[in-house]
Amino acid sequence: MKRLSWSRKVALSAGAVLALIVALGALSWVAGVWTDYQWYASQGQQEVFWGTSLTQLAVWLAFATAGFLVIHASARAAWRVISEKPRLVRTTAFVCVLLAGALALAIGASTGRTGASRGVPALVAVLAYMVNGLAPLVSWLEPIQKLSPFYQYGGHDPLRNGVSGAAVAVAVLTVAGFVVIAIWGFRRRDVLA
């Protein structure tokens, strides 16, 4: 039997953690919907439950579709810009764009402000790029350089060592965290008012 490499183990572990988070979130959501239905049914107000639930579903689908389209368009634009570069650079750019898109989704779903959902991820991306680029030259930036996604995907010398499983795991978990924050933030908002 072939032994799994360390990066493969990390990737499988990250996938298992992500699946567990999704399963727990789905279970929590189903429990909440069932509880709401039972309460509305006991009050004889099932039409209110269905109206509220279908409205929330429609709004969620609209935000999810818009978020997907923005992430997809951003990824395609980034892919086009760097299409002449090596594959590793494209992968790194795609992961950084995916992180920025997930951050935009979390901010947009939590606040409902389109300006913040566009501006904050752009600012974070520019600052992360500057920190990663300037940290070798500025000593007080070195401790925070490892927080930059650009460092996570380039700091381990990927051209010699290949893609880092730990960096991929960090990316997957960060994106999953932002998606969980987006769902939690959207559920807390009163979009029907």
Q: What is the pLDDT of residues 94-113, one digit of tens each?
A: 777 888 889 999 998 888 88
Domain hosting residue 71, numbered range: 61-188
Asked if the structure places residue 30 within a domain, the reply is no
Q: Reduce the DSSP state of residue 142 to 3 states and report it.
A: helix
Asked if the structure places residue 65 within a domain, the reply is yes
Asked if the structure places residue 26 within a domain, the reply is no
- Count structural domains, the chain: 1
The per-residue pLDDT for 163 is: 66
Asked if the structure places residue 135 within a domain, the reply is yes
Asked if the structure places residue 140 within a domain, the reply is yes
The per-residue pLDDT for 82 is: 58
The per-residue pLDDT for 192 is: 60
Asked if the structure places residue 49 within a domain, the reply is no
Helix, strand, coil share of the chain (percent; to 5): 85, 0, 15
The stretches in the chain having pLDDT less than 50 are: none
Q: What is the pLDDT of residues 114-133, one digit of tens each?
A: 888 888 888 888 888 888 88
Asked if the structure places residue 32 within a domain, the reply is no
Asked if the structure places residue 74 within a domain, the reply is yes
